[in-house]
Structure formats: structure tokens, C-alpha cells
Amino acid sequence: MTVAHERFYVGGAWRSPATPGKISVISPNTGQVIGEVPDGATADIDAAVAAARTAFDDPSGWAHWAPGQRADAMERLADALDKRAPEMVRAISSQNGMPVAVSERLEAVFPQLLLRYYAGLLRRESFEETRPGLLGGSTLVGRTPIGVVGAIVPWNFPQTLAAFKYAPGLAAGCTFVIKPSPETVFDSYVLAAAIEEAGIPAGVVNIVPGGRELGAYLVSHPDVDKVAFTGSTAAGRSIAETCGRLLRPVTLELGGKSAAIILDDANLDLAVVGEQLFGATLLNNGQTCYLGTRVLAPKSRYQEVVEVFTALAGSLQVGDSLDPQTQIGPMASARQRERVESYIAKGIGDGARITVGGGRPDGLDAGWFVQPTVFADVDNSYAIAQEEIFGPVLSLIPYDGDDEAIRIANDSAYGLGGSVWTGDHDRGVEVARRVKSGTVGINNYLPDPTAPFGGIKASGLGRELGPEALSAYLATKSIYL
């Protein structure tokens, strides 16, 4: 084993686990064990929540620090993460198969970007105002931190999606218990070391890795005030049921089956838009919730669209996630590869036509690799068009006219992302307005820290990013004067 950790980061210290259980980390590149960390138990969550509660309730603690003081600490954390960027990249890409070229652009950068954004917002934000009343008096309206947050983070973008939660939450004055996915645990130790170096007070951020049962225990813990979750729709429904029964605020960022609408005037020159198309449809080996894996193509240009995406997918270099030249790495786990391959089989069974890919790449027998795969002649009713695959599989669906494209795009249980590809910006915006989704890109797709991100329908509840995320970690109180 190349990496081994013995303890958790809880209460500002490295704490021995309550039980001897271990999480074995398996390389998706080789299928071999590359390390282990302690497997969290309920007693570890109890200790972490107690530490977060003590830190939050402390009259001179994090929640009561001046906004500028919290902002300074968040910027120190961003600096500490900057110093650990190479270590973070290797930790993540060795665990979940994310190509290092992607890790370097996102996982090693985005958390710091968010910390600095919310630190800046914190310096400008007013948390109290007096409003004149209609009945002769006035009201003091204040916003205060909501409390202890249970944050459950998935394996596909473990540090970026953790920062989606803790960056606005820390700015608000909340304290955290973070439960990473058992598939991506090494990177959480890099984060913990950065938290220590930054001088974030003891108990403000606690990290306990573990599986679904541990996550369920955290969600239902009586001393947790809010839950923030990113993951599957099935798990999100279960969490929503628990939070609904407890009347506990929850933010859910769940699955997607987004549509990439190619309008009849779109520029499809891969030399011009290839990088953008790749980022919007196949980023991180297709293991990205918002990707436009349903590509809607006008019948007048359908064959051209098929050829373009076939060429794009066929040109991608598949290989070891730690190789800087790799564009498509392995699936994160053997189970995930089985899932992707089962959907490829369903697509064939429904009558769709594979134009490229469909199997395992030659010469990569040890890891969990799948060829980038494009299906043509797909009907929107097929399983590959309706269900989230979470792999490098695209479904090309023909349409006739903008109205039908929008109807097909909206014929989905999900509503997270989407994109419109056109030579007419105004036309693209009008089409985007009619797509029932929380986010849509025009000739590109990349979430921005300043704008709210999240979905509708089976894609979740609430929003992350932007000032809206800060508000999600604040409780509003009115004092009538």
C-alpha cells in the first residue's frame, strides 16, 4: 500500500477512530489497493458533531467572529490549499480516475476560487437592516448562521463539491461535519492539513469518511441543523424524507440527464468548438452530473452531427488518469464500469446504433476503462436517453424544428443542466429560456461561482454558488421595534 492514514480530523485534532474498520482504496487504473484509511462509525460522527456544536455555540467562536476576521481565515485556507495543489491533484486522480489535466484545472483551483469569492462577498455583505413598517413602527431584520451543517460529498468532484458547501457556509458562520465518499478519501486529508495550517478554529470543520449508513446517521443526527448533499437522486430522496420529517433545511444537488441542443445554425467545426463540446458532454470521463449526454440534432444536419460527435469521441486519448495526455480515464470503480456497460447493452437492445466505442479499450485490461461511446438513431424514450448513465456515453436524438427540440429536452425527469449551440446568440438565449432546467449554457457550459447552480424536478432542491448559497446557510430573524 502506498498511502495509509490512522486517524480522523475532528475537533481541530487528529482523533483515533472508534472502531478498527478500514476503507481500502483501489486504483481505478490498475484495480490494485493503493492505501487505506479508517472507516467512520457512528461514535466518530457523534464526536464530530459534538465538536462542531461546541465550536458553533462558543460565544466568542466562529459564528461570532467579525465578517472580516472570518474572511481573513478563509483566504488563509485558500492559500494553504494553493500550496498543496500538486498533492491534491494526485490524491484525487489516483482514486476516482479523473484525468490529471482536469484535476489541475478544477479540483486544484475551484475550492480556492470559492473561498476567495465568499471571503470578498463576506466583506461587502450586510447581515442586518432596519425596515420601516406600515403600522407605525419599524423592524430590525437580521440574518444569522444556521448552525451545524452535515455535508455529504460524492466521489466525482470531491473537493470542488465539498467547497460548494463549506465556502458559503463558513462565510455565513456555520460549522461543518463533512463525510467524504469512501471512493475518495485521500484528498480529505490534504484538506484537513490545509485547515490546520490556516488556523481555522478547532471544531469548525470536521471530516469523517464512511459509507451510506454513516451518511444516513449524520443526516438524522439531532444536533445537525442543516444538511447539504450532492449525489444520486435515489439517495437524495431518502435524505429529503428524513429532513422533511425532522423539518430540517436541506440542499440537494442530484442527478441529471441534460440536453445539448444543436440548432440548425450551429458551428460544428471541432477546431473551433471541440474543446467546448467536450467540456459540455464528456468532461471527467462522463462522470459529471450536468453533462449534456442527450445531444439533440436537427434532422437537416443529423448525419453531420453524428459524424462530428463520432470524430470527437473517437479522437479522445483513453488512458491512465495520472498521465497528463489522458483525456478519458477509467471509471471510478468496477461497479461503475458495470453500470455503464449495462446501459450500453440496453442501448443496443433498444435498437440504437453505435457509431464509435461500445467496448473496452485495447491494452488497458487492468483498470476499469470504457471506450467513449456514441449512439445514433436514439429515441428519447430509450433507457439511454432517460436514465443517468454517468459514463462517456452520448445519445444522438433527431428533431424537427426548435419547438420539437425544446419538447424533447423537457421530456425528462431531470432538470439540472443543458446547453444550446447556435450562431445566433439571441436565438440561443430564447431557446435556453424555454428549457426546464436550473442551468443552461450557450455554446459552452461551465458553472460560475457568482451564479446560482442547481436543478429542478429530480435534479434536486435549493441552489449552490452565488450569493444565493450564502443565504442558504443563514436564518432570518425579525425584531419588531
| 384-433 pLDDT tens trace | 999 999 999 999 999 999 999 999 999 999 999 999 999 999 999 999 99
- 367 conformational bin, left if phi > 0, alpha if psi -120 to 50, beta if neither: beta
Percent of all residues in the chain with a pLDDT value above 70, rounded to a whole number: 100
- Tell me, yes or no, if 289 is annotated catalytic: yes
- Cell numbers at 159, concatenated: 473537493
375 forms bridges with which residues in the sheet? 354, 395
What's the confidence (pLDDT) of residue 359?
Answer: 97
Classify residue 120 by burial, with Cβ atoms within 10 Å: 0-12, 13-18, 19+. middle
Catalytic residue among 243, 289, 341, 464: 289
Scan for cell 446517521, then name that residue.
217
Determine contact, residues 1/341, Cβ cutoff 8 Å: no
What's the confidence (pLDDT) of residue 310?
Answer: 98
User: pLDDT-based confidence at 190, cuts 50/70/90?
Assistant: very high
What's the confidence (pLDDT) of residue 376?
Answer: 98
- Whole-number Å distance between alpha carbons of 340 and 345: 9
Q: What is the per-residue pLDDT across 472-481, written as a single tens digit (0 to 9) for each?
A: 999 999 999 9
- Indicate the pTM of the whole model: 0.97
Segments of the chain assigned to CATH 3.40.605.10: 3-254+457-480
Residue 177, pLDDT > 90, answer yes
Where does 259-442 sit in CATH, by number?
3.40.309.10
Residue 1, pLDDT > 70, answer no
The distance of Cα 424 from the centroid of its chain, to the nearest Å, equals 30
Scan for cell 448552525, then name that residue.
147
Helix (H, G, I), strand (E, B) or coil at 131: strand
Q: What is the per-residue pLDDT across 93-136, written as a single tens digit (0 to 9) for each?
A: 999 999 999 999 999 999 999 999 999 999 999 999 999 999 98
Amino acid identity of residue 402, one-letter, is D
Segments of the chain assigned to CATH 3.40.309.10: 259-442
- Tell me, yes or no, if 104 is annotated catalytic: no
Q: What is the per-residue pLDDT across 432-463, written as a single tens digit (0 to 9) for each?
A: 999 999 999 999 999 999 999 999 999 999 99
User: pLDDT-based confidence at 352, cuts 50/70/90?
Assistant: very high
Residue 197, pLDDT > 90, answer yes
Residue 329, pLDDT > 60, answer yes
Amino acid identity of residue 264, one-letter, is D
The distance of Cα 223 from the centroid of its chain, to the nearest Å, equals 25
Residues with Cβ within 8 Å of residue 195, at least 6 apart in sequence = 9, 77, 80, 204, 205
51 to each of 207, 269, 362, how far by Cα in Å?
Answer: 11, 55, 50
- Cell numbers at 406, concatenated: 425544446
Percent of all residues in the chain with a pLDDT value above 90, rounded to a whole number: 99
Higher pLDDT among residues 3 and 431, named by residue: 431
151 forms bridges with which residues in the sheet? 178, 228
Of residues 140, 199, 211, 213, the one with CA closest to residue 170: 199
What's the confidence (pLDDT) of residue 3?
Answer: 77
CB atoms within 10 A of CB 55: 24
Residues with Cβ within 8 Å of residue 327, at least 6 apart in sequence = 99, 101, 278, 316, 317, 318
Helices of type H across 173-211:
186-198
Catalytic residue among 107, 183, 253, 464: 253
What's the confidence (pLDDT) of residue 4?
Answer: 81
Of residues 231, 280, 287, 284, the one with CA closest to residue 259: 280
Determine contact, residues 229/242, Cβ cutoff 8 Å: no
Determine contact, residues 450/465, Cβ cutoff 8 Å: yes
Helix axes 402-410, 425-434, angle to 10 degrees: 40
DSSP string, 205-217: EEE----HHHHHH
**Cα-Cα end-to-end distance for the chain:** 64
Q: Which CATH superfamily is domain 3-254+457-480 in?
A: Aldehyde Dehydrogenase; Chain A, domain 1 (3.40.605.10)
What's the confidence (pLDDT) of residue 60?
Answer: 95
User: pLDDT-based confidence at 9, cuts 50/70/90?
Assistant: very high
DSSP β-ladder status, 22-26 and 33-38: antiparallel
- 357 conformational bin, left if phi > 0, alpha if psi -120 to 50, beta if neither: left
- Cell numbers at 472, concatenated: 442558504
Q: What is the per-residue pLDDT across 263-284, written as a single tens digit (0 to 9) for each?
A: 999 999 999 999 999 999 999 9
